[in-house]
Amino acid sequence: MNIALVTGGSRGIGRAICVKLASSGCYVLINYNHSPEEAEKTLQMVKEAGGDGMTLQFDVSDQSQVEKALGEWQSANEGKYISILVNNAGIRKDALVMWMKNEEWQDVLNTNLNSFLYVTRFLIKDMLLKRFGRIVNVVSLSGLKGLPGQANYSAAKAGVIGATKAMAQEVAKKNVTVNAVAPGFIRTDMTKELDESQLKQMIPMGRFGNPEEVAEAVAFLASEKASYITGTVINVNGGLYT
């Protein structure tokens, strides 16, 4: 059984990914930071989908927390390793650049970009030694197109896209793939304040997406079926940007 870690798995897209991976036969580690109740709800949904897993609390933007939590899990699960990593955790702190505070820039880069390094670097050695691994990074339309008011978020997600393409070439010979999924406008807590009625007019499909539609793409890239796909970005945006 593959063991999958989904960062930011307590709600939204992360929750849908956890449930989908569980239904595909994975044991799912549901990472969360501030919402234990929501993480437990995700765990219950994982079990209802016929899978199993556990919650794992740590702040992905804090290197010491990442290494402590994952190190403790490894010590308690000798002989096992996390073969699927979904770097999904993210935050937004939107502002025009002229008004953006240093902490708004740094917080978004720490959570959305630096976390990729902290979590991936800790887990990649086992994937290489076992000669199998799947890393899927949840990026964004913002990282491809750039969106006004999101210079920090766009910069962070664009950085993860670049890191995805570079790392894919580093580890391909060991049967480890590194890919990304770039959602457009998806109905989640992060988009609930947006004017869907107005924005959907920009989308060729005429609607926002659902978290489950993103999860399907992630699950495919995490599967054996995607064994010859690496260094790519799959857009899940209803045709808004290609």
* 32 is an active site residue: no
What phi and psi, each to the nearest 5 degrees, are found at residue 52?
-150, 165
Helix (H, G, I), strand (E, B) or coil at 186: strand
Helix (H, G, I), strand (E, B) or coil at 11: coil
The residue behind tokens 């699950």 is: 219
Q: How far is CA 38 from CA 11, 166, 172, 185, in A?
A: 6, 34, 35, 22
The token pair that represents 146 in the structure block? 């750039």
The whole-angstrom separation of Cα 163 and Cα 178 is: 9
Helices 151-171 and 115-130: crossing angle in degrees, nearest 10, is 20
Closest by Cα among 94, 136, 133 to 116:
136
Helix (H, G, I), strand (E, B) or coil at 138: strand
The residue behind tokens 């937004």 is: 92
Residue tagged active-site, from 27, 32, 118, 153: 153
Asked whether the beta carbons of 6 and 21 are under 8 A apart, the reply is: yes
The whole-angstrom separation of Cα 190 and Cα 113 is: 17
Closest by Cα among 129, 117, 34 to 81:
129
Active site residues: 153
